[in-house]
Amino acid sequence: MIERIRRSGLLRHLPPSVKRLLRKGYNAAFGSRAATPVEIEGIVVRLYDLALKRAPSEHERQVWTGEVMSGRMTVAVMMESIAASAEAMAVRAGVQLVPTVPNGRFIQYAYETLLGRSVLPPEIVHWDHLLNQQSFGRDRMALTLFSQRASRELTETVQPPPFDPGTFPWMGMNRFISIKEWQDKAALTDANPPPLQSRIYPSLRLKSGPALLVSAIASLYRGGEYIEQFMQNITSQSLFAQSELIIIDADSPENEYEVIARYMERFPNIVYHRAATRIGIYEAWNLGVQMAKGRYVTNTNMDDLRRHDSFERQVEILEKFDFVDVAYQDFYYGFEGKASFDRTAAIGVRSELPVVTPYNLMLSNSPHNAPMWRRQLHSDVGMFDTSYRSAGDFDFWLRCVRAGKTFFKINDPHVVYFVNPEGLSTRPDTRGIEEPDRARIEHSPRITSPWLVSADEEFVEEIGRRAGLAVEIAPADRRPPDWRYTAVQTALRRCSAASRRATSH
């Protein structure tokens, strides 16, 4: 029977496990005794899993077992009938979707084609692990993604998901924060708490001097409710004498200039520019960057608050460490627009942002709230993309990591992020999902390591080439999802050991 299958050309299309099972049946692996019904049924279940990628029905198990036990069919013929059936051939054709392309490349293509977005590195690891299991083929993955897409579109068409204006992502916590939860904490907090002490590091202290260090850019539109608080907060910065505040009035109808003019009389380092027409936030930021004279740039939102030394804490990092391009920090969530910084800090609902890496930046826009960056970045990677409405900064940071720029996280939160239901990135009509997906599609293929999506053998060969060592990784060692990480760590340890031995001699 095996010879007949070989002559038909079918054998080369069968998985090794099916071939072994065929040989086992053909060679009468049960010895001199006859197979029992339980053993026959076990072969049927196993072969259905390997060849048909499904479990047999109760009726199918009974039919195949009955055929063998009655003597009308041998075990070998039964196995040949299942493995060479039209259903098995169709399954094999489906499993071999784009067979010459490595799993990682196939996963990237499947996400872009079926879900309309870029795949994230953890998703590549997840699917690659499943695809390396014989019982899970590419056809099954494609069907799963297609079902997700269809389910999402049908759900949105029939009944769009409700928008809850009282719940927002709690960054770094893998869950959401609600207004009620924040208010419950606020009810237990002193209305006038003592100020929190700043984290001061003497080795980072700035040298005094006349240099203009910071250009703080504010886009203004319908900010009348917050303009007085904003002006007072920014002009009270400990480093404001070495800063400039550039306000780009995006043709706001609320005449905030009356308040701004009073502060301009006291502070000549406030620059005001009113646009002739309504412009978007990133167009306003670009104008501000073009007007900026400071060494560093930061964005300042009308409804957010900064601690009195916020600018100073950011600048001292950028001044001390010339390899740092962007300084960002954790922040406090606020749900009361006029609450003081100290009260919001005392309530204590704060983010837990990760240290930015290219991969986790694709998952979440960690520097989104009041970062400070070198003005030189715009000469290196360009201005903000004005085609975005709410994710232009995310796109900019992704361009920065593509260019190898360095982000530094300050663990001392010195900013309050007011979760304004009417804010551009928090109101229900925002493009908060569509636009980040667009940015990921643009940048993810250039950020994701080619060795994460390469064929297994290519990856192993590259490790050996870079390590200068012979590297072999058995198939069994490639089964865990993180086997590539483990392989690199093993190679690094071997390199280190070889280096120590060479030095000792």
CA atoms of 280 and 385, how far apart (whole Å)? 11
Tell me the HSE value of 280 on the side-chain side, using a 13 A CA sphere.
Answer: 14
Look at residue 476 in the predicted model and tell me its pLDDT.
79
Give the model confidence (pLDDT) of 82-120 as tens digits.
877 877 777 766 556 777 889 999 999 999 999 989 999
30: pLDDT confidence band, cut at 50, 70 and 90? very low
pLDDT at 209: 77
**Other C-beta atoms within 10 Å of 422: how many?**
10
Whole-number Å distance between alpha carbons of 213 and 144:
53
Across 117-131, 195-209, 454-468, 479-493, least confident range: 195-209
Give the three-class secondary structure for 245. strand
Burial class (CB in 10 A: 0-12, 13-18, 19+), 159: exposed
- Domains of the chain (ranges, CATH numbers): 2-95 (no CATH), 103-158 (no CATH), 175-447 (3.90.550.10), 456-504 (no CATH)
pLDDT exceeds cutoff 50 at 5: no
Least confident of 23-27, 117-121, 217-221, 407-411: 23-27
How far apart are the C-alpha atoms of 17 and 39, rounded to whole Å? 17
Please, what is the end-to-end C-alpha distance for the chain in angstroms?
61
Report the SS3 class of residue 157: helix
Q: How confident is the model at residue 210 (pLDDT cuts 50, 70, 90)?
A: confident
Give CA 301 to chain center in angstroms. 25
C-alpha span between 268 and 461 (Å, rounded): 63
pLDDT at residue 212 above 80? Answer: yes
pLDDT recorded at residue 432:
59
Q: Which of 304, 343, 341 is nearest to 226 (CA)?
A: 304
- Tell me the average pLDDT of the chain: 86
What HEC string does 397-421 produce? HHHHHHCCCCEEEECCCCEEEECCC
CA dist 457 and 379 (Å) reads: 40
Query: Which whole number is the average pLDDT over 369-394?
Result: 97
In angstroms, the CA 31 to CA 46 distance is: 20
Per-residue pLDDT, 19: 57
Q: Determine the Cα–Cα distance for residues 484 and 456; give it in Å rounded to an integer.
A: 9
Residue pair 50/135 in contact (Cβ under 8 Å)? The answer is yes
Distance CA 312, CA 95 (A): 58
pLDDT of residue 29: 43
pLDDT value of position 55? 86
Q: Which of 55-69, 172-186, 362-376 has the highest mean pLDDT?
A: 362-376
Helix %, strand %, coil % for the chain, to 5? 50, 10, 40
Q: What are 66's two structure tokens?
A: 């009955």
CA trace torsion 212, 217, 223, 227 (10° rounding): -10
Report the range of poorest mean pLDDT among 115-129, 169-183, 279-293, 313-327: 169-183
For residue 387, what are the CA distances in angstroms to 395, 433, 435? Answer: 11, 15, 10
SS3 177: strand
pTM above 0.85, yes or no: no
For the stretch 305-343, pLDDT in tens is 999 999 999 999 999 999 999 999 999 999 987 889 999
- Indicate the angle between helix axes 103-110 and 138-158, nearest 10 degrees: 20
Radius of gyration for the alpha carbons in the chain, expressed in angstroms and rounded: 31
Tokens of 286: 């670009």
Ramachandran bin of 305, using left for φ above 0, alpha for ψ from -120 to 50, beta for the remaining angles: beta
- Residue 421: pLDDT band (50, 70, 90) is low
CA distances from 175 to 120, 157, 167, 303, 352 (A): 19, 26, 10, 24, 11
Tell me what pLDDT residue 263 has. 98
H/E segment holding residue 144: helix 138-158
Other C-beta atoms closer than 10 Å to the C-beta of 312 total 23
Residue 422, pLDDT score: 61
Higher pLDDT, 268 or 208: 268
Residue carrying the six token digits 């339980």 = 38
- Phi, psi of 242, deg, nearest 5: -105, 25
Q: Kind and range of the H or E element at 493?
A: helix 483-504
* Tokens read off for 65: 């077992």
Contact in structure between 217 and 270 (CB atoms under 8 Å):
no
Give the model's pLDDT for residue 416.
96
Read out DSSP for 258-324? Answer: HHHHHHHHH-TTEEEEE-SS---HHHHHHHHHHH--SSEEEE--TT-EE-TTHHHHHHHHHHH-TT-
Measured distance CA(317)–CA(328) in Å, rounded: 10
Share of the chain above pLDDT 70, in %: 86
Higher-pLDDT residue of 129 and 1 is 129
- pLDDT-derived band at 386 (thresholds 50, 70, 90) equals very high
Q: For 321-330, 423-432, 452-461, 471-480, which range has the lowest pLDDT when averaged over its residues?
A: 423-432
- On the 0-12 / 13-18 / 19+ scale of CB atoms within 10 A, 428 is exposed
Element spanning 85, H or E: none
The per-residue pLDDT for range 433-464, each reduced to its tens digit, is 689 999 999 999 999 999 999 999 899 999 99
Inform me whether the pLDDT recorded for 126 exceeds 50.
Answer: yes
The string of pLDDT tens digits covering residues 334-350 is: 998 788 999 999 999 99
Q: Which long-range contacts (CB under 8 A, 24 or more apart) does 461-470 make?
A: 463/487, 463/488, 463/491, 464/491, 466/491, 467/491, 467/492, 467/494, 467/495, 468/495, 469/494, 469/495, 469/498
Q: How confident is the model over 232-282, as pLDDT tens digits? A: 999 999 999 999 999 999 999 999 999 999 999 999 999 999 999 999 999
Q: Looking at per-residue confidence, does 54 or 292 come out higher?
A: 292
Cα(244)–Cα(130) distance, integer angstroms: 55
pLDDT of res. 20: 58
- pLDDT number for residue 31: 47
